[in-house]
A = this chain, B = another copy of it.
Amino acid sequence: MSLSMYQASIPAFVQMLNNLSAILDKADAHARNREIDPEVLLNWRLAPDMLPFARQIQIAADLAKGAVARLAGVEVPKYDDTEKTFAELKARLAKTATFVQSFKPSQIDGSEDREISLKLGEHAMSFKGQPYLVHFVMPNFYFHCTTAYDILRHCGVELGKRDFIGAI
């Protein structure tokens, strides 16, 4: 099978969204075992001007849903950032994985030259589909997944690289 815009994105998103969900289970168990208020972990940051754990998860999920919707040329669904518990963040990841998996290869493939426009706050960006996926979405997606993992490791949650990469 040839690599394609679908093959380079959807399976990677689904794998990592599921890995994050399993990581959230371990964080939840860690908080219970140590009698840590889950909010402490959900709000932990690696630096005062970095985003907290819960936002890292929300943004990772949003990068996945935004990428597939934009590459397919459909409207990006809006999910409110209201999650206050590990269970709610797991539901956000599951909803995102279901959305991402609802796309067929034929909706994503051939999107290399599709014009993609997005706004980050006040900052408007435009790309072709391929550099959008390769140079913007994937590094950003893995950035937020990794930073979520790094926050939990920094807080002592027992995780290893295999939790991040998952079963291949």
Q: In this assembly, does A105 line the interface, its C-beta being within 8 Å of a C-beta of chain B? A: no
Interface residues on A, range: 35 or more
CB distance A154 to B16 under 8 Å? no
Q: A1-B112, A168-B127 are in contact. Are A161 and B134 (CB under 8 A)?
A: no
When distances are taken between beta carbons in the complex, the residues of chain B under 8 Å from A12 are: 134-135, 138-139
Q: Which candidate, A78-86, A93-101, A140-148, is the interface stretch facing chain B?
A: A140-148
CB distance B134 to A8 under 8 Å? yes
What is the oligomeric copy number? 2
Q: Residue A164 contacts which of B1, B113, B143 (CB distance < 8 angstroms)?
A: B143
Q: In this assembly, does A106 line the interface, its C-beta being within 8 Å of a C-beta of chain B? A: no
A to B CB contacts below 8 Å, 30 in the list: A1-B112, A1-B130, A2-B4, A2-B112, A3-B3, A3-B5, A3-B8, A3-B112, A3-B133, A3-B134, A7-B130, A8-B134, A11-B134, A12-B135, A12-B139, A15-B135, A46-B46, A47-B153, A127-B168, A136-B165, A136-B168, A138-B142, A139-B145, A142-B142, A142-B143, A143-B149, A143-B165, A146-B146, A146-B147, A147-B150
12 extra interface residue pairs, beta carbon distance < 8 Å, beyond A131-B168, A142-B142, A143-B161: A1-B112, A1-B113, A2-B112, A3-B5, A7-B130, A47-B153, A125-B168, A139-B142, A139-B165, A142-B146, A143-B164, A146-B146
